[in-house]
Every structure is written in structure tokens, then in C-alpha cells.
Amino acid sequence: MEKNKMSKNKNYYELLELNKIKNENGNITIIEKSTDFKFNLNRVYFLSNVPSGITRGGHAHKKLHQLIIPINGSFDIKLDNGKEKKSINLNNESVGLRIYPMTWREISNFSPGSICLVLASEEYDENDYIRKYDEFLELINNVNEF
Ligand code: TYD
């Protein structure tokens, strides 16, 4: 697939094809700022050992940009920009999901042993979270009025 071919861009997410070098000795998957995530990288974290049946996320961010990569296993991400909802199954270590600010997300259906790697544009800041869906809708509708 052409590098970084966007399968969809509705201004709140993009699926990105990462550069993967494969040979008989294994794979290298490369994530570079200029071609892949583009935002300033200030934090990296990962989710692991998530029990089946658990849903993570359940919030939006005011300013944070993220790139999510299923470096092992698979999980589902539900996205919602206040107008449209989308469910994406991430199951390929060389396909990342870029999520833009003001996008509600829920992550579920983690396969056993799955690891969800997150590249983030800002360090952790609880004030950047919107944890109540009603508040998210109110804020996004206000933003869209302008
Ligand atoms: P949260 O982002 O709500 O988790 P998830 O969306 O995966 O369900 O974070 C869970 C807890 O961990 C919360 O108390 C904040 C804390 N946390 C940090 O301290 N630093 C971080 O970088 C992250 C992502 C979370």
C-alpha cells in the first residue's frame, strides 16, 4: 500500500499506513514525525494486560493529538465527533490511527496480550480531558457555531 495512504479523513481521524521493512530476520516498523504523526511528540504510553470485556477511554481531549498503534494483538476504537460515529478495528502493527482533538473515543474488545501504543502531543494534563459526554456535546456544538 502507498505509504500513509489515508483511508478516510473526516478531520477527526486518519488511518495511517506505517513504513514496515520485512525480511527473513523479522520486521521493523518505523514511525517518523514528518511523515506519520506530524504533531510535537511529548509523551508515549501504552496499555497492556487489559482484561476482556473492559472498555477504556470514554473521554475526549480539548487539545491533545494522538497516534494509536496496535503493536500487538487487536482492539476496537469507537470514535465520535459529535455528528458522526465510527468504529475501527485496529489489528495491524503497521496501521496507526491518528485521532484529532475534540473526538470522543472508547477502546474495547482487547485481544489477550494486546498492547495499545499511544504517541501524544502533550504531557498528561487532567484539565485537557472532557470526561462527561454531555459536556463534550455542548462544547463541540459551541465550537461548531463559529
Ligand atoms: P485515562 O486516560 O483515563 O485512561 P484510559 O483512557 O486508558 O481509560 O487514565 C487512567 C488514569 O491514569 C488516570 O487516573 C490518569 C492516569 N494517567 C496518567 O497519570 N498519565 C498518563 O499519561 C495517562 C494516559 C493516564
pTM: 0.92
The one catalytic residue among 38, 43, 56, 59: 59
Distance CA 74, CA 112 (A): 9
- Which residue's entry shows cell 456535546? 137
Provide the H-helix boundaries in the chain.
133-145
What length does the chain have? 146
Which residue puts its alpha carbon closest to atom 14 of ligand 1?
A: 126
| Residues having CB within 6 Å of any atom of ligand 1 | 43, 45, 47, 56-57, 124
Distance CA 6, CA 13 (A): 10
Closest ligand 1 atom to 120 CA:
22
61 has catalytic annotation: no
Supply the mean pLDDT for the chain.
92
- Which residue's entry shows cell 514525525? 33
Give residue 33 CA to ligand 1 midpoint distance, Å. Answer: 24
Q: What is the pLDDT of residues 29-86, one digit of tens each?
A: 999 999 999 999 999 999 999 999 999 999 999 999 999 999 999 999 999 999 999 9
N-terminal to C-terminal alpha carbon distance within the chain: 38
Which residue puts its alpha carbon closest to atom 20 of ligand 1?
A: 124
Q: What is the pLDDT of residues 45-56, one digit of tens each?
A: 999 999 999 999
